[in-house]
A and B are shown apart, each in its own frame.
Chain A
Amino acid sequence: DTGVSQDPRHKITKRGQNVTFRCDPISEHNRLYWYRQTLGQGPEFLTYFQNEAQLEKSRLLSDRFSAERPKGSFSTLEIQRTEQGDSAMYLCASSQDRGTTDTQYFGPGTRLTVL
């Protein structure tokens, strides 16, 4: 079990640029989640995949955000035309469907700073 990995760990970009983050879940996990966390707050849900299907998107996810999970493996989160308010930690989590509950395991996160 190698855990959830994310790349890059840190990203500094200028306002208006596009950025893309990658998440590799735990290999047997079919569920994948993206969260955003700002300083002093808990993670806030952004979107959810079951295998390759994106089943839920938060109202926090504006049209500038898009996520994919081709072939139900790794996932990417793209932010277009970044704004200073996008500065945050972006966390990915994965879990395995085990019935009524599933434990989400988090990656180390990608810290985005928009100048």
Chain B
Amino acid sequence: EDQVTQSPEALRLQEGESSSLNCSYTVSGLRGLFWYRQDPGKGPEFLFTLYSAGEEKEKERLKATLTKKESFLHITAPKPEDSATYLCAVQVFSGGYNKLIFGAGTRLAVHP
């Protein structure tokens, strides 16, 4: 069964304290791995897509990496405005369409 697990569930950082979020997955036929950011009461906002092991993508203080079993979202010198829930999702082809399977997310709080 296709599965996505994110860890930790919650993470508290001081401003400037770098860290990483983990997304491990077991799927058959990965078409892409997606990272989204979600603020409270809002819809997920697209951040990155990774397609193959070894690929890396960067955006401001965020860098996403991908291996055959997991992805990491590295946050360098975070600021309070980076506080949000970060969702990982894998895309597989199932039932004739690109199915997106989400993890439960990591709630990040960055304190000044």
Chain A interface residues toward B at CB < 8 A: 4, 6, 31, 33, 40-45, 48, 50, 55-56, 91, 93, 95, 100-109, 111
Contacts and interface: CB of A to CB of B under 8 A. Distances in A.
Contacts of A40: 104-105
A104 B101 CA distance: 12
Contacts of A4: 43
Contacts of A50: 97
A102 B43 contact: no
Nearest to B88: A42
A106 B44 contact: yes
Contacts of B91: 101
Contacts of A31: 97
Given A45-B100, A91-B43, A108-B42, A103 B105 contact: no
A37 to B, nearest CB: 9
Interface stretch (B11-19, B45-53, B65-73): B45-53
B89 A42 contact: yes
Nearest to B93: A100
Q: Assign chain B's interface to a size class.
A: 20 to 34
B43 to A, nearest CB: 4
A42 B102 contact: yes
A57 to B, nearest CB: 10
Contacts, number: 64
Interface string B71-100: 000000000000000010101010111111
Contacts of A111: 41
A45 B92 CA distance: 13
Nearest to B51: A101
Contacts of B105: 40-42
Given A101-B51, A103-B49, A43 B44 contact: yes
B30 to A, nearest CB: 10
Contacts of B95: 55-56
Contacts of A105: 46
B43 A101 contact: no
A44 B44 CA distance: 13
